[in-house]
Structure 1
Amino acid sequence: MAKVSIQLIQVTCAIVWCLLAAGPIFGFAALKPILISEGVYGELCTPNNDPILSITAGRDALMAGKAPKPCTAQDLKLNLMFTVGAGTTNVVALFVGWILDSYGPRVCGFIGSGFLTLGALSLGWSSNISLFDPYIVGYVLLAIGGPFVFISCFQLANSFPKRSGTVLAIITGAFDTSSALFFFYRVAYQNWKPDLTLKKFFNFYLVVPLFIFLCQLFIMPKESYKTLGAVQKLEVEGLDENGNLPEGEDGSRIIPDDDERQSLLSTGSPVIRPVLSSTSGRKSIWENYVEAKLEKKTKGIFGVMHDYTAIEQIKSPWFLFMLVFTIICMLRINYFVATVRSQEEYLLGDADAALKMNSIFDVALPLGGVVAIPFIGLVLDHCSTLTALTTVASISVLIGVLGLTRSFLLNLIGILILVAYRPFYYTVVSDYCAKVFGFETFGTVYGLLMCISGVCNMGQSLLDRMTHRTFNMDPTPVNSILVTITVVSAGCLLWYVNRESKIREEKMKILESIADPNDQEQTAYGST
């Protein structure tokens, strides 16, 4: 009983700090009005160019339910703050994975709490800092701390082996919901505490990294943990890093049918195995069984690059096509998060309607991940990899098209779809990497994919500048370009995956037809 209790406390603590620290920077749309009303970068506005907004006037506007409007230079600098932060979050993922695999989750937790502390101090004491830009630096430090404290929680999936998928889903949901932190700050600032300045808020926020530090020191497990690939293997296959059932499992989650499960166990040898994937180094009948089923369900996609080195995988079209698609999708999502109010104000031609849309987005963004989690599981559990990718691509194009319209209703539908699509997109990408490239290289391949995407995401500031200065605040040209590139990149990815799937499916049929007729289990698998 004591063991279960401490495990429950550990998971609870992780959920709490993920809600507060895993990804609050993505709540930028809610924080931005406060930054404007507090006069952040207000010195960039000149009387001859744009009106200077005083802090008092900004607060008064926000109290009246109207978002203060920044000048062009101020708006660009604030958006750059988010662009650099969001890009850094993805870039640092590669290094977090390496530190995690080398030194374990406690070290990651300590490092993350340190970055969060420095970020809060930089933003809270910004008025006293002149050596560097405290706002961009502070936001970047928060962006670095988030992945450290979030990814280090994945090990807790092993705390409750029979509920490992549920634990991972809750932790991921906490990450998606963490963007609500700045939304609640804005609500408090706007309705109850107009004197809750950035300094006061971020001084209060120092409690969060202190909480994480103390939890790592006294509560969290001290043992070294599973690698990122092992966690992904647990999520995709339901098996541990050695291909065996997690402690406490009886195999019923993998094979619900009692007769089939007993039949498998009674053979005493891994007679059910993948047709195309290498079976070298297999350690259990469970791994052969699960991977054979995955190979069949994904129409040969599972295991296609498992036997290659990380370098060979990265050079392959499987990686390159997904990389381009991931870059453009991430760019579109973060570009919208940074510019949602200005985009809607131009498209709708109504500042009040744009503010209303922005407010809806602030609430919907953290809720989207929570609502989408059950549906994400259903899609990945019951659809092939190609079907999942086609769904992601189709939704991405639909969101882009809706974002080009000037209808409040259609834009609202687009936003509601976007907030649910965002976690779905990230989950499908990680699922694709696990199934295509395997679990041994997962941390390297997936981390590099996110890292390169994060670097390219810095180009968002160029798109923002074009919208402001070249197209006079009209987001349509930039969004049209992004949607077009999305169609092309998605089309190339789907074409390649579909082509390779058909080739491998045909190979599977040929190999199954010439399988040893005495291998009844293998023949039965091939005919399902």
Structure 2
Amino acid sequence: MTSETTPLVATLSHSSHLPSLNLRIAQVGCAMLWCLFSAGPVFGFAALKPVLVAQGVYSEVCDINTLNEVCIEQDLKLNKMFTMAAVVTNATALIVGSILDNFGPKITGIIGSFIIAIAAFLLSQGASITIFDAYLIGYVTLAFGGPFVFISCFQLANSFPGNSGLILALLTGCFDTSSALFLFYRIVFQNNYISNLTLNKFFKFYLIVPVFIFLCQIFIMPHESYKTIEDIAKISETGLDESGVPLDPEDTRYSSNEVLTVTRSRSRRGSIKSTKSVFEEIADTRLKKISGGIFGVLHSKPMIEQFKSPWWYIMCLFTTIQMLRINYFVATIASQMTYYFDDVISIQLNKFFDIALPLGGIISIPFIGLILDNLHTYAVLCILLCVSTAIGVFGMISIQFLQYLGIILLVLYRPFYYTAVSDYCVKVFGYTTFGTVYGAIICFSGMMNLLQTYLDNATHFTFNNNPTPVNGTLVSLTLIFGIGMLIFIKSQEKEIIRHNIIEETLADEDDDQIQTFSPPN
């Protein structure tokens, strides 16, 4: 069997174990639909906040009783809802990963449907429940359920071999768009398209979503994962399945000429056995080139050693400050724009942000792929730092055009940043530990979002509603952590390149010795 036909045979063999085409289409379609409504609606908090104020949520803490006017104490309590939800969403990733590995996607999805149903009930009954804060617990519970129903969908990436990247992009796009749920609710509520659509009525209607998820899990979704998170990371990065052959036989990254060249090179090495397939070797070489040499730097290291490495904690610190900045802006955009501009302009900017946030994730998908596939990792991180700094600077200037530009950059930056961190983890730490290492970064960063409450209090009380000191501090920390990260990676790149040159020279010398050696007669 020739090397050119191997991928096709492997793909056909794997595909023969897949369910029917119609069932797989239904599975992906259902997953996209529920992700659109439940994966991350809590990030649409800026759109929901005016509805909460209009319906008097937490108005009892104010000295005034006028609806549609928010006092500082009420604003802080509302913002705390989002802060806690953001923390829980990111911290849940590790829990979901463990449940997914041990019980499979069906059980994980069913658990998520029950959690979301509880959240909808609490939010619908928030005004009548007095034993505890039902709005806070309900919103946090909604955030808790999102990762269960979203992450359990990742394994569908290989339901159509060769198109895993497209499916992941569609699911991710639905996650980003899910923040529009509360935008549509606010539009319907404020324009009275549905008469008196209170929180009670809205979240009673919303119970349809967890029921739909539950029924899909019982009757449509697969019992076993098509792939693990590690396999999906490998497929997304290389296009190779777990056995090391291309899922797409027409994948241009693995031409017959390149396969032949590597095969000849392996034969020259003789008895030196490789645990990787020819295609994996080609992929490693390509990824080393794309990454600027950092691909594989910690792939062979134990997980505990990876966590102790500067490669992990410098990215963890940078991620923490970025997540804190993004979520602080989402929670406080209304009060920030009110401080910098008059009521008319601030309302316009708020409405623009509400629409731009869900659209940003969709629009950025093709550009993210182009950037990550064509630029070195160091260059990608330079772009992240520059864009992040620009967003922070524009957000502190009372010029309407710059605020619009900052919002546009932010909504495009948010999905780009998370994808870039994921890409970094694959390249640096490898596929085997990807789920745990990436999950730990997101979990730690999410927990640090608890600091957002202190930043919010400082803005209102210490700085008299002026967000500039807090924003200035966050931008300064971005520059400190970002520049430190770039200096470290640049120094490591140079060391890796020097080491590779030495290895290639020694390998060439060994090849020459093998070719010139002739055994005695």
Q: TM-score, structure 2 length as denominator?
A: 0.91
User: In structure 1, what is the Cα distance between the partners aligned to 2:133 and 2:511?
Assistant: 68
Structure 1 counterpart of 2:340? 347
Structure 1 counterpart of 2:395? 403
Structure 1 counterpart of 2:118? 118
| Contact 1:14/1:153, CA 8 A, preserved across alignment | yes
Task: Specify the SS of the correspondent of 2:297.
Answer: coil
Aligned: 1:452 with 2:437: no
Aligned: 1:383 with 2:375: yes
Identity level (%): 50
| Contact 1:270/1:289, CA 8 A, preserved across alignment | no
Structure 1 counterpart of 2:249? 250
RMSD of aligned residue pairs (Cα, Å): 1.9
Structure 1 counterpart of 2:205? 204
- Choose which of 258, 261, 265 in structure 2 pairs with 1:260: 258
Give the 5 Å matches for 1:49-88.
Answer: 51-53=64-66, 58=67, 68-88=68-88
- Report deviation, 1:514: 2.4
- Report deviation, 1:347: 1.1
Gaps of 5+ in 2: 1-17, 513-521
Aligned: 1:291 with 2:290: no
Per-residue Cα deviation, 1:399-426 (whole angstroms, up to 9, x for no partner): 0010110001100100011000000000
- Report deviation, 1:461: 0.7
| Contact 2:158/2:226, CA 8 A, preserved across alignment | no
- Choose which of 483, 503, 522 in structure 1 pairs with 2:495: 503
* Amino acid of the structure 2 residue aligned with 1:322: M
- Report deviation, 1:25: 0.2
- Report deviation, 1:233: 1.0
Structure 2 counterpart of 1:90? 90
Give the 5 Å matches for 1:466-485.
Answer: 466-485=458-477
User: CA 1:253 to 1:199, structure 2 compared with 1: closer, same or farther past 3 Å?
Assistant: farther
User: CA 1:271 to 1:116, structure 2 compared with 1: closer, same or farther past 3 Å?
Assistant: farther
Q: Hey, which bits of structure 1, 4+ residues long, moved more than 3 A?
A: 257-261, 267-273, 516-520
Structure 2 counterpart of 1:17? 34
User: In structure 1, what is the Cα distance between the partners aligned to 2:81 and 2:251?
Assistant: 49
Task: Specify the SS of the correspondent of 1:516.
Answer: helix
| Contact 1:271/1:285, CA 8 A, preserved across alignment | no
- Report deviation, 1:283: 3.7
User: In structure 2, what is the Cα distance between the partners aligned to 1:280 and 1:334?
Assistant: 50
Per-residue Cα deviation, 1:228-265 (whole angstroms, up to 9, x for no partner): 1111111111112332323xx2152432x45434x258
Task: Specify the SS of the correspondent of 1:5.
Answer: helix
* Amino acid of the structure 2 residue aligned with 1:245: P
Task: Specify the SS of the correspondent of 1:514.
Answer: helix
Structure 2 counterpart of 1:329? 322
User: In structure 2, what is the Cα distance between the partners aligned to 1:115 and 1:352?
Assistant: 39
User: CA 1:465 to 1:11, structure 2 compared with 1: closer, same or farther past 3 Å?
Assistant: same
- Choose which of 496, 504, 508 in structure 2 pairs with 1:516: 508
Per-residue Cα deviation, 1:302-324 (whole angstroms, up to 9, x for no partner): 11111111111111100110011
Aligned: 1:175 with 2:175: yes
* Amino acid of the structure 2 residue aligned with 1:409: F
User: In structure 2, what is the Cα distance between the partners aligned to 1:120 and 1:268?
Assistant: 61
User: In structure 2, what is the Cα distance between the partners aligned to 1:272 and 1:389?
Assistant: 38
* Amino acid of the structure 2 residue aligned with 1:329: Q
Per-residue Cα deviation, 1:85-133 (whole angstroms, up to 9, x for no partner): 0111001111111111221111110111111001000000112212211
- Report deviation, 1:271: 6.2
Per-residue Cα deviation, 1:254-293 (whole angstroms, up to 9, x for no partner): 32x45434x258x3885699xxxxx987241111110121
| Contact 1:341/1:358, CA 8 A, preserved across alignment | yes
User: CA 1:346 to 1:504, structure 2 compared with 1: closer, same or farther past 3 Å?
Assistant: same
